[in-house]
Amino acid sequence: MPIETKYRTCNLCEAICGLEIKVEDNKVISIRGDEEDTFSRGHICPKAVGLKDLHEDPDRLKNPLIKRNGQWHETTWEEAIAYAARSIVDVQITHGKDAVAVYQGNPSVHNLGTSLFSPDFVRSIKTKNRYSATSVDQLGHHLAAETMFGNGLFVPVPDINRTDFWVIIGGNPMVSNGSMMTAPDIRGRIRDIQEREGRIVVIDPRFTETSEKADEHIFIKPGTDIWLLMGLMNFVYQNDNIQLGHLADAIDEYKIEAIGQAVDSFDLDIVASRTKISKEKLSQFYTDYCNANRAVLYGRLGISANKFGGLCHWAINTLNILTGNFDTEGGAMFTNPAVNVSSKKSPVPRFGRWHSRVRNLPEYGGELPSSTLAEDILEPGEGQIRALITSCGNPVLSVPNGRKLDDAFESLDFMVSIDIYLNETTRHADVILPPATGLETPHYPIGFHNLAIHNTANYSDAAVDKSEGALYDWEIFSRLKKEVEEYRLEKTGEEKSDKPTFTLEQKLGFLLEFGPHKLSLEELKKHPHGLDLGALEPQLPKRLITPDGKLNIYPDIYQKAVERLVNSQVEEDHEFLLIGRRNLRSNNSWMHNLHRMTKGPNTCTALVHPEDAETYNINDGDHIKIRSRINVVEIPAEVSDEIMKGTISIPHGWGHNREGIRLQTASAKAGVSFNDLADDQLVDELSGVSVINAIPVSIEV
């Protein structure tokens, strides 16, 4: 058999690196960075080779599984799909449409088939109880985009290719490879900024891998970034640094005045006392930001999934706008992708149109906050959730209070999981439908081209064949939808949708042809290293799609949130605040079964500052107990001055010691789950996003 060379985009994270893959007889021989990729220019990270391990993982499911009397059995696709679809419809006939909930996890947006075909299936279920990883993650970005620019997916990205001053707040792109900002080769791009005499400042309670490469690191008390940002806004007003430039006509002047009045009380004394950053440091940082030629503020997970996550993302956009760093080169900019996901206009913001049953938290974009899922299953009463569909998600490990979710899922009448593993979440299912994945699927990173710091388009064919009899994700979703509609018609007479059905290539082809660049899929296929569609360009006010066509710099929801913030009491001092951490060879909860990703020392440790370690008589490697309001876990301590005093950092996605999983490598190195400590009752009051950073905890030795 000849060795073939295939080019493809890595689908594991948001950086969409180009890969060069050697394949012989459907076996992957090697995976390297594609030097000719128009965007990533050869960059990859250690996870890329995980795609080979994923393809070969003996624990990965290839055939559907059905649970009978507590035992798993392989079954045919016909039986599995009919069982899943009919059970869903039966629950809805008995208990109403909302009795079925849907949870969609992170790989949904990293799989083309799921991105394009799951929405139609989910719509066919007609439930208001939809959940996803968004509300444990980037919800604040979407809410700000929805209310300020008119569409939640019209999210600005930092133009790091041209900025002179990049402020990273609560992000660690050297490890995460960038998020809500598709930018392969972060290291190279940081170096480029420094070579043109620009600066990078990291604001984080931990001195991170990114801080090491940056020009300055500022330690901040977890959960207090909103004061830092409001203080900066006040500084901008006090020092007459407002420059609206080409956006002036698109913004109501009275709103600019209202913001100025609202931030008036955030002086250096207040900000310093909340953030634990000295007044001198604050004032130096504020001055540097205002003096920089082209500056951009960028905030990520550390501030998104936080008590004031929603407000932080409004504040970051607003600061970039007020200082003339918005929709201009080197500031925050919008993409012009070949498939544009943010062109739809809505008469009202898609927020708060309905609320969760037990806690009355608001919907965003058709989804309720995931921190409410467990209680909406467990609490008896009208509208209780009785059945669940999960796809590409592992909420037991990724959503606060995983133990409560374990109980909730066990109590369901029916559960189906579309997933490639029998893991902590899917073990509760009655049926698992495993699609082909990774190198076996064609790919086009729709979502990430929309968030990229340079416009490109890249289509990849599958690099290897899927195993015999396996189905692609879009086939599973199409068949489920058809079965749901046919069975419902038979049982209730409810009409089927009359939308035509398409193949994956047809659907992508239409989106490309009707997109801003009018590309054809055939043409795109001729460019295996991707097509360069040009640098980001200013696009406002033309592309604003708010109801009045203006840029709403101060939407009502944020006015109220600012008032709440101004009136908020100083929080009592907690013994410790717990924050999260990511590791270069890990990807949320699901790549720990790939041996090359988990070999070497245990990375699931609790970082503790040396002075705190001394107070509690903790030595490096000691097992310590960490207690939150809901639970206590035991974990090895790693004593390090990279973490701020009074703060503890634990990575998430571990805790593979639950019974009934089929993950040999992962269970050998179980770790503990961060979300056994994270409290489902702690959410951002404004947006409903889960709080997974700055959780009050104590240490027991």
Instruction: Dig out the tokens for 622 from the structure.
Output: 């000691």
Q: Which of 50, 152, 156, 173 binds ligand MGD (CB under 6 A)?
A: 173
The span of 40-48, 116-124, 143-151, 661-669 binding ligand SF4 (CB under 6 A) equals 40-48
The span of 45-53, 254-262, 379-387, 432-440 binding ligand SF4 (CB under 6 A) equals 45-53
Q: Which of 9, 87, 92, 111 binds ligand MGD (CB under 6 A)?
A: 111
Is 133 a residue that touches ligand MGD (CB under 6 A)?
yes
Q: Whose Cβ is closer to Mo ion: residue 305's or residue 697's?
A: 305
Longest dimension (CA), the chain: 72
CB of 584 to ligand SF4, least distance (A): 9
| Residue 437 identity | T
Residue-by-residue DSSP string for 385-421: --EEEEES--HHHHSS-HHHHHHHHHT-SEEEEE-SS
CB of 144 to ligand MGD, least distance (A): 16
Residues 158 and 332: their CA atoms lie apart, in Å, by 4
Q: Which of 204, 475, 612, 679 binds ligand MGD (CB under 6 A)?
A: 204
Torsion 566-567-572-577 (CA) sign: negative
Q: Whose Cβ is closer to ligand SF4: residue 17's or residue 412's?
A: 17
Residues 248 and 322: their CA atoms lie apart, in Å, by 10
The span of 86-94, 371-379, 458-466, 584-592 binding ligand MGD (CB under 6 A) equals 584-592
CB of 280 to ligand MGD, least distance (A): 19
β-bridge partners, 391: 104, 418
For 155, residues 6+ apart whose C-beta sits below 8 A from its C-beta are 141, 142, 145, 180, 342, 450, 451
Residues 575 and 626: their CA atoms lie apart, in Å, by 11
> What does 10 interact with, of ligand SF4, Mo ion, ligand MGD, none (CB < 5 to 8 A by kind)?
ligand SF4
Is 172 a residue that touches ligand MGD (CB under 6 A)?
yes
Q: Whose Cβ is closer to ligand SF4: residue 87's or residue 210's?
A: 210
Displacement of CA 172 from its chain's centroid (Å) = 14
Contact between 397 and 425 under an 8 Å Cβ cutoff? The reply is yes
Interface map 433-472 toward ligand MGD (x if CB under 6 A):
--x-x-----------------------------------
Q: Whose Cβ is closer to Mo ion: residue 137's or residue 367's?
A: 137
Displacement of CA 332 from its chain's centroid (Å) = 19
**Between residue 642 and residue 661, which ones bind ligand MGD under the rule CB under 6 A?**
652-653
Is 220 a residue that touches ligand MGD (CB under 6 A)?
yes
Residue-by-residue DSSP string for 45-112: -GGGGHHHHHHH-TTS--S-EEEETTEEEE--HHHHHHHHHHHHHHHHHHH-GGGEEEEE-GGGGG-H
Is 13 a residue that touches ligand SF4 (CB under 6 A)?
yes
Q: Which of 6, 7, 8, 12 binds ligand SF4 (CB under 6 A)?
A: 12
**Between residue 328 and residue 367, which ones bind ligand MGD under the rule CB under 6 A?**
none
Is the peptide bond prior to 442 cis by the omega test (within 30 degrees of 0)? Answer: no
**Between residue 167 and residue 206, which ones bind ligand SF4 under the rule CB under 6 A?**
177, 184
Contact between 500 and 120 under an 8 Å Cβ cutoff? The reply is no
User: For 683, which DSSP code?
Assistant: B
Q: Whose Cβ is closer to ligand MGD: residue 139's or residue 244's?
A: 139
> What does 303 interact with, of Mo ion, ligand MGD, ligand SF4, none (CB < 5 to 8 A by kind)?
ligand MGD
Q: Whose Cβ is closer to ligand SF4: residue 17's or residue 418's?
A: 17
**Angle, CA of 503, 508 and 509, to the nearest 5°:** 95
Is 14 a residue that touches Mo ion (CB under 5 A)?
no
Burial of 88 from C-beta contacts in 10 A (0-12 / 13-18 / 19+): buried
> What does 12 interact with, of ligand SF4, Mo ion, ligand MGD, none (CB < 5 to 8 A by kind)?
ligand SF4
Residue-by-residue DSSP string for 98-153: GGEEEEE-GGGGG-HHHHHHHHHHHHHHT-S-EEEGGGGTTHHHHHHHHHHHS-TT
The span of 43-51, 261-269, 327-335, 391-399 binding ligand SF4 (CB under 6 A) equals 43-51
Closest to 371 (Cα-Cα) out of 305, 292, 310: 305
Show the DSSP H helices in 202-325 as ranges: 209-213, 225-238, 253-262, 268-275, 279-291, 301-304, 309-322
Is 48 a residue that touches ligand SF4 (CB under 6 A)?
yes
Q: Whose Cβ is closer to ligand SF4: residue 108's or residue 356's?
A: 108
Is 15 a residue that touches ligand SF4 (CB under 6 A)?
yes
β-bridge partners, 169: 203, 299
Q: Whose Cβ is closer to ligand MGD: residue 251's or residue 650's?
A: 650
Interface map 128-157 toward Mo ion (x if CB under 5 A):
---------x--------------------
Residues 68 and 80: their CA atoms lie apart, in Å, by 12
Residues 217 and 526: their CA atoms lie apart, in Å, by 45
CB of 22 to ligand MGD, least distance (A): 22
Q: Whose Cβ is closer to Mo ion: residue 54's or residue 301's?
A: 301
Report CA-CA distances (Å) from 675 to 12, 208, 219, 632.
22, 22, 24, 11
Binding footprint of ligand SF4, residue count (CB under 6 A) = 12
CB of 15 to ligand SF4, least distance (A): 4
Q: Whose Cβ is closer to ligand MGD: residue 206's or residue 488's?
A: 206
Burial of 492 from C-beta contacts in 10 A (0-12 / 13-18 / 19+): exposed
For 415, residues 6+ apart whose C-beta sits below 8 A from its C-beta are 387, 388, 389, 390, 409, 428, 429, 430
CB of 23 to ligand SF4, least distance (A): 17
Q: Which residues bind Mo ion (CB under 5 A)?
A: 137
Residues that bind ligand SF4 (CB under 6 A): 10, 12-13, 15-17, 44-45, 47-48, 177, 184
Q: Which residues bind ligand MGD (CB under 6 A)?
A: 13, 105-107, 111, 133, 136-137, 169-173, 175-177, 179, 203-206, 208, 220, 222-223, 225, 300-303, 306, 391-395, 398, 418-421, 423, 425, 435, 437, 473, 579-580, 582-584, 586-590, 652-653, 674-675, 678, 692-694
